[in-house]
Structure 1
Amino acid sequence: MKINRRDFFRLGAGATAATVLAPYHFALADDGFLEIRAVKAAQSLYPDSPTSTLWTYNGTAPGPEIRVKQGERVRVRFINELEEPSSIHWHGIRIDNAMDGVPGLTQEAVKPGERFEYDFVAPDAGTYWYHAHNKSWSQVGRGLYGPLIVEEPYPTFDAEHDMTLVIDDWLLNQNGQFDEGSMGMMMDWSHGGRLGNWITVNGISHPELTLKAGEAYRLRLINVCNARTLELDPNRFDAKILAFDGQPLPEPIAMPYEPYLLSSAQRVDLLVIPKQGQDFALEELSGNSPFPFLTFRVTGTGTGTGPAMVPKLTPNPLAEPDLAQATVHPLLITGGAMGRFDGITYQGKPLGRASMMQSRQFWAFNGVANLPEQQFFTAKRGETVIIEMVNDTAWPHAMHVHGHHFRIEEREGSTIDEGRPWKDTFLIGPSQTTKIAFVADNPGKWLLHCHMLEHAAAGMTTWFEVV
């Protein structure tokens, strides 16, 4: 059977269900470092199909789940056993700049056969992840990612009630195998990015989990898709939002609109208290009919912790922006299919149609395609920064700021950011203007880019400096 994008929304009825999610295993080296190796490995992505050759951390996609307590050190020895350079970026962590893992900005890419030691403190509790940051469109798309969970220093949800769900979409061929030959297609780079036709959770097709009625669970959803924005509706199973991008809300809230758009690289923590006899599923809603990709079976009589016993999460110590003293930096996003390309430069030269096709640079920030030599702006440490982004393209973009969390202060034509939750990635719609604000309190050179990874490779990357 040939699998195409239309099939994405109707496959699964016959998929073999897993009763549990694959466990993560790792061992520390004698010196206390967790060794993570980038290696090729065989892994099945579609039921009853041949295995695919993926690029993995320690032999599986996703790689090992790293769990530490807030304030503890993360010590990882990255060993590159692939045939091309790579690095690891720790997404969402307010990290020391030298450990951010961005080749060409904070470190050199780790060559084949070489290693690099990452050593940093995890200052904020929450749901984060790590992934390759060299040729991310290819390396992440082939499986180089894993979850990083920073636990609160006080008791919250125990291991049985705290579940990490790493969600990816894969483009499979007619044999149900990863379609390596489709990587890097120009259509993906200039349009909406690479979209898959099959979803896995923690590397498993259509898994099932068993929950106990009446007990409180924390579901940590991590969207690691190259470009897909997942359309979800937590209200379908009475879930509440505990946290966005790792940052807890003052109180759990019901999602005030549907569908909820979880863009590439974003995370959301859901609070679920299952009801007796009411199984439910996580469903992707962008097709003609809902596509269930994770099923929950509910057992028990409903005499559990109940809503009154839900652990309360404490906000992380993030500095509040001082809007009255802020400096404002406009960022105009142009290019892409059906967009305008006038006035775009690449590597200091005007980008014409022929050079655009040759260089594969289809997008620009303030008229510059891809990582420029000159920083977008420089901020003094402690300065409040407002970035006013204008998306003058026909496509949405998942904008990610390294090293900082921000508040969305204003989004044209929308009120979905009421309460101004902290984010490190947000989705800006076509022809939309959005203002974000944060305190530039983390010194160093920081990347700002679209996390639809083909868009980043095709020009949507810049940087700023905190001095």
Structure 2
Amino acid sequence: MNKKIIGSILIILLLFLGYSSYHWIFNEGSDGTPQLVNGEINIEELYKNDFSDQNITEYNLTAEEVEWSLENGKKVNAWTYNGSVPGEPLRVTEGDILKVNLKNNLDVPVTIHWHGAILPNVMDGVPDLTQEAVQPGDTFTYQFEAKHPGTYWYHSHQHSALQVDKGLYGSLVVEERDQQNNYDREQILILDEWATDRNPESLTTMPGMMMGGMNGEADTKQMYDTYTVNGKSGTSIEPIMVKKGEKTLLRIINAGYQVQRLSFPKGTTKVVAYDAIKTLDKNNQASVIEVAPGERVDLEVSNHQSKPWFVSNLTSLEDGVNASIPVITNKNDNYENIEPNQAKEGSSIDGATLGNKNLIFEDTPNQVDVSYEMDLNMGMDMGDGMVFQINEQQFPNTPPIEVEEGDIVKVEINNNGRFNHPMHLHSHRFQVESKNDQKLNEPIVKDLINVKPGETFEIFFKADNKGEWLFHCHDNNHADLGMMTIVDYESVYSPFVE
């Protein structure tokens, strides 16, 4: 065979390999600008990093290990942002730029994910998908516009089942630019649970635990023994100051992996937002407020009493542990002899109860571009043992939700297993249209929906933020064991995928 024929065959072979390879996307032009070949672009090219015309709020966060006291005599080795659990609270005004310089002083890689925030893909903090993990001794700067006011939180997304468990989280509040202050005070409460005399990783393989329970929480209840509020448990939980006649705004974040149920005196509290989205201004008063893992709820609390009382944590009390929050009217109040109220009288509200003011779709979309059925269940893997699955597959083999920019996407989430699965979609909001095949009278806009055993939710969202985005269970023990998938925009690719 002559050299010309051999050369032609080689050229054809190279062209074929180039066009068929997912990562062979562009050739570099003479000016260094990527030249698209098959219509896909690196997610790094989507990021606008010129913020010279906007106000910047800047923080420095250091990931470091400290000995942390949960309560008198009960200490843990915690991984923290800036030496405390929770990490430093962050605040930024709507429309301004949040700039956070992360320094990693741990001996393991870390990241920061900005839970609930709508932001560019490369700022999302998911290792091996949107960035490389920040190695020990290295730094990384996150910088993005704070677009929507409300309550958010930040946490590591590197081996998150372990790292969030060890304390790598904190609050993020985006303040409304022209807000009117209707409250006398404001308080952030971050709820969590810890394993102080147990090994949670070993418990994930216990056959008895995996049988499940009536409330969908059997695994978590066996894994953790200590409940905390702002990093403190029992008598070390700091009281809330609400004077008689005052109104306070409570921003509550569930950083743990178990549903938390908080009981208030009747007529005391009103829900004003879930997941940073304002609820309809109706009679949202309830005695019991449920907060799922990863959820945030904003409460308007009015104090009609002159004596101290408790926000009772029913979840902890049912397990024989007291993680209730004292409410005092002045700093000298003595609440040592007051018992938490375990009464469950009155109505209960959770994240699937209340409609929202601003909807994504005024009516249920009649036509959708992408439909996806998401079946949640458990399975067994020869190497990993018990795993959690989407459509009978464990991540990274779960089928992605493939979209194009502008698509209207319908997802039907079915929980066919025995455990709760709080499903969280990164950097998008979705509209919940039906529950258990019954259309909701008032649709709900969320970024996380807690799907209990036997439940089905029908949600819709717009594919309006290009990138590669996680959709996963926010019981991070379930996510680490496989319950994740990706919303994959066809026009982009990630250079961080191995």
TM-score normalised to structure 1 length: 0.78
Give the secondary-structure state (helix, strand or coil) at the position aligned to 2:161: helix
1:298 equivalent in structure 2? 329
- Give matches, 1:253-272, under 5 Å: 253-255=283-285, 259-272=288-301
Aligned pair partner of 2:232 in 204, 207, 215 = 204
In 1, distance between residues paired with 2:64 and 2:458? 40
Mapped contact 1:65–1:148 kept (Cα < 8 A) = yes
Which secondary structure does the structure 1 equivalent of 2:310 belong to? Answer: strand
* Residue pairs, 1:4-15, within 5 angstroms: none
Q: Which runs of 5+ in 1 are unaligned?
A: 1-30, 174-178, 301-313, 336-340, 342-352
Q: In the superposition, relative to structure 1, how do residues 278 and 292 fare at CA in structure 2: closer, same or farther (>3 Å)?
A: farther
Gap change, CA 1:199 and 1:36, over 3 Å in 2: same
Query: Aligned letter for 1:185?
Result: L
What amino acid sits opposite 2:255 in the alignment? Answer: V
Distance of 2:252 and 2:452 partners within structure 1 = 22
In the alignment, which residue of structure 1 is the partner of 2:48?
none
Q: Which aligned pairs between 1:126-275 and structure 2 lie closer than 5 A?
A: 126-157=150-181, 161-173=185-197, 179=198, 181-187=199-205, 190=210, 192=217, 193-195=219-221, 196-205=224-233, 206-225=237-256, 227-234=257-264, 236=266, 238-251=268-281, 253-255=283-285, 259-275=288-304
Count of matched residue pairs = 395
Q: Which amino acid aligns with 1:217?
A: T
After the TM superposition, list the runs of 4 or more consecutive aligned residues in structure 1 that deviate by more than 4 angstroms.
Answer: 188-193, 288-292, 314-322
Residue 324 in structure 1 maps to residue 335 in structure 2: no
Alignment partner of 1:45 is 2:74: no
Task: Quote the Cα distance in structure 1 between the aligned partners of 2:93 and 2:456.
Answer: 37
Deviation, structure 1 residue 32: 6.7
CA distance in structure 2 between the partners assigned to 1:130 and 1:57 by the alignment: 10
Name the counterpart of 1:281.
310
> Deviations 1:268-313 (Å, cap 9, x if unpaired)?
000011114253322222417894510101359xxxxxxxxxxxxx
Instruction: Name the SS for the 1:324 alignment partner.
Output: coil
Shift of 1:437: 1.3
Whole-angstrom CA distance in 2 between matches of 1:283 and 1:357: 43
Counterpart for residue 429 of structure 1: 452
Query: 1:167, 1:221 within 8 Å by CA — same for their partners in 2?
Result: yes
For the residues of structure 2 that align with 1:70 and 1:250, how far apart are their CA atoms?
21
CA contact (8 A) 2:187 2:240 kept: no
| Equivalence for 2:7 | none
The alpha-carbon deviation at position 75 of structure 1 amounts to 0.6
Deviation at 1:84, TM superposition (A): 1.2
Instruction: Report the more deviating stretch, 315-324 or 393-402.
Output: 315-324
The CA RMSD over aligned residues, in Å, is 2.7
Gap change, CA 1:268 and 1:234, over 3 Å in 2: farther
1:365 counterpart (378, 390, 399)? 390
Distance 1:252 1:155 in 2: 20
Q: 1:430 to 1:219 in 2, by over 3 A?
A: same
- In the alignment, structure 1 residue 95 sits paired with structure 2 residue 102: no
Partner SS state of residue 243, structure 1: strand
Contact 1:322 1:384 in 2 (8 A): no
The 8 Å contact of residues 113 and 157 in structure 2, kept in 1 or not, is answered as yes
Structure 1 residues 354-402: Cα deviation after superposition (integer angstroms, max 9, x where no partner) = xx25324511111210123x75222222222111011111111111011
CA deviation profile, 1:402-437 (whole Å, cap 9, x unmatched) = 11111211111778x652232111111112211111
Query: CA 1:429/1:32 → structure 2, altered by over 3 Å: closer, same or farther?
Result: closer
Query: Structure 1 residues 110 and 252, CA, compared in 2 at 3 Å: closer, same or farther?
Result: farther
**Retained in 2: the 8 A contact 1:321–1:438?**
no
Which digits, 9 at most, give the CA deviation of each residue in 1:440-461, with x for residues without a partner?
Answer: 2111111000000110011101
Amino acid of the structure 2 residue aligned with 1:221: I
Q: Which has the larger radius of gyration?
A: 2
Query: How high is the TM-score relative to the length of structure 2?
Result: 0.73
Give yes or no for the alignment of 1:388 onto 2:412: yes
Give distance in 2, aligned partners of 1:414 and 1:253.
22
C-alpha distance after superposition, 1:228-255 (max 9, x if no partner): 1012244645200000011112315425
Counterpart-to-counterpart distance in 2, 1:392 and 1:132:
29
Instruction: Note if contact 1:407-1:436 (Cα within 8 Å) is conserved in structure 2.
Output: yes
Give, in whole Å, the separation in 1 of the partners of 2:86 and 2:167.
Answer: 6
Q: Which runs of 5+ in 2 are unaligned?
A: 1-55, 332-355, 492-498
Q: Taking CA–CA contacts closer than 8 Å with sequence separation of 6 or more, which of the two structures ends up with the larger relative contact order?
A: 1
What is the identity, as a one-letter code, of the residue corresponding to 2:68?
Q
**Are the counterparts in 1 of residues 313 and 325 from structure 2 also a CA contact under 8 Å?**
no
1:213 CA displacement = 1.7
- CA contact under 8 A between 1:169 and 1:197: conserved in structure 2? yes
* AA partner of residue 297 (structure 1): I
- Report the CA distance shift for 1:96/1:464 in structure 2 as closer, same or farther (over 3 A): same
- The answer to whether the Cα contact below 8 Å between 1:232 and 1:282 also exists between their aligned partners in 2 is yes
Question: SS in structure 1 opposite 2:70?
Answer: coil
TM-fit CA distance, 1:170: 1.5
Instruction: Write the letter of the residue equivalent to 1:262.
Output: V
